[in-house]
Structures are given as C-alpha cells and as structure tokens.
Amino acid sequence: MTTPLLEVSNLNVSYGPIAAVRGISFCVNAGELVTIIGANGAGKTSTLNAITGLATVASGTISFDGTDLLSLPVERKAQLGIGVSPEGRRVFGDLTVRENLIAGGISLPARQAEARIDTLVERFPILKERIDQESGTLSGGEQQMLAIARGLMTSPRFLILDEPSLGLAPKIVSQVFELVQQLNQEGVSILLVEQNVRKSLAIAHRAYVMELGQIVRDGDASNLAADPTIHQAYLGAA
C-alpha cells in the first residue's frame, strides 16, 4: 500500500489537566482533500496546532512523507512542503499585503520570493489591487485570501487550512471553497478543518468527525454527506 503523505497516530494533546485531543489517528494521502469536521471545542484546531508545532504533543506520532514532524522546527516543515493558513487569518495588520507575503516566503531567496508574489497576485487579483495597502484595513474576505496566499508562498505540496470560512459572508465563503477545491485539483494535498459541514463534505474526498477530542466517525465524504445523523448533528454548522 502507498504510504500516506501525512500520518497521525495515537495523538494526545493536553493543556494542563484538560485533554484536548485523545488518542486520534488519521491520514491524508497524496492528492487528497481531507476534512476534519466538528463543533467548537471538538479538538480540531488543537490537532492542527500539534501538526504545525504550535501545541505540545503529550504522546503519539506525526509523520510527513515518512519524516517525523515532532522533532522538526517550523521552518524545516515549510521546506518539506507544508503550508499553513491559520484560524482567524492572523495577517500582520500593520504590514502591507506585499510585506505579509514576503513574511510567508521568508525562507525563499529574495528574487524567488518576488517571482512567487507576482504569480500569486495574478491568482488573487484583489491582492494585486491592495498590494501596498496595510493588511489591517482589508475586509475579512480579503484577509482570508491573503492568509491563503501567504500559505502558498513556498509552493507547498500540502496545505493546512483552519476554518477558512469563519466569519465571512456567504458569497465569499463560496469563493473560498471554490479556491480550495481548485488548489486540490491542481495537485495540492489539503487538510481542511471546518465548521461548515455541508460545503466541506461537498469538496472533500474523505472526512473525519471529531467530538470532545476524539474521532467518532470517518469515511468517504459523499457517504457522510448523505448520512441523516450527520445532518441532524451539524445542522447549525451546515
């Protein structure tokens, strides 16, 4: 069998006495778009933070293309081909759009970074229009596009997206999901964490459902989308 691109095994994450993630295992294969769905507090973001190094792992293993991620610094993870668009966008509000993109490509030689910016602003025309504007003055949707573009600066083969639709108007949400699907179709493997269950399942290949720090369901996204218990449990998030 093909080795998964990302493999998480028996992962536990705790904050003091609170167990945020409890013994979960999952994988993402090359070329897949996999989504983790669940309500607030389910442990989704803690799982992503463990992968990116923002949360301390109590036990378990995380590997990417056969390499142990837990022992690697953030910059080395980027060099392996992992890009991240964090929850809440987290753009640097007092920096311009260009400066935010440069920060995302800090590991790149200057000339390569500039070339990458040129490529990305063609893909995100609104960022081209706002290239010298302070990011804190952008709309929520524009900031989300910037956060995704910043995560793409190193031309990653694997992209982690944490709640990209959070707080956005419905029209912008649809644009974000169309973009995510397009990136996957272009060959980028994606791990998507989302509360928008319906749209996530519509574009994903496979899905994992988290509740109270555990994975309680998993399977083909289309099968889960057709499951009435999923609709009932996440009607408010759909």
Only one residue has tokens 């889960």, namely 224
Sign of CA dihedral 187, 193, 199, 204: positive
Specify whether the CB–CB gap between 96 and 135 falls below 8 A. Answer: yes
In a domain, 164, yes or no: yes
pTM beyond 0.85, yes or no:
yes
Q: Is residue 149 part of a domain?
A: yes
What pLDDT, on the 0 to 100 scale, is given for residue 185? 95
Is the separation of the CB atoms in 64 and 6 below 8 Å?
yes
Give the tens place of pLDDT for each residue, 167-203. Answer: 778 888 888 899 899 999 999 999 999 888 889 999 9
The pLDDT of residue 205: 97
| 70 domain-assigned | yes
Please state the domain count of the chain. Answer: 1
| Residue 190 within any structural domain of the chain | yes
Residues 6+ apart with CB under 8 A from 67: 80
Check residue 166 and give its pLDDT.
80
Which ranges of 67-204 would DSSP assign to H, the alpha helix?
74-80, 97-104, 110-123, 125-129, 140-151, 170-185, 197-203
Distances (CA, A) of 228 to 206, 216, 222, 231, 237: 17, 15, 12, 5, 14
Whether the CB-CB separation of 164 and 180 falls below 8 Å is answered with: yes
Structural domain includes residue 1: no
Q: Is 20 inside any structural domain?
A: yes
Which ranges of the chain have pLDDT less than 50?
A: 235-238
pLDDT at 207: 97
Q: Residue 215's domain is classified under what CATH number?
A: 3.40.50.300
Query: Domain of 211?
Result: 6-237
Q: Which amino acid is at 28?
A: V
How far is CA 235 from each of CA 12, 165, 227, rounded to the nearest angstrom? 28, 16, 12
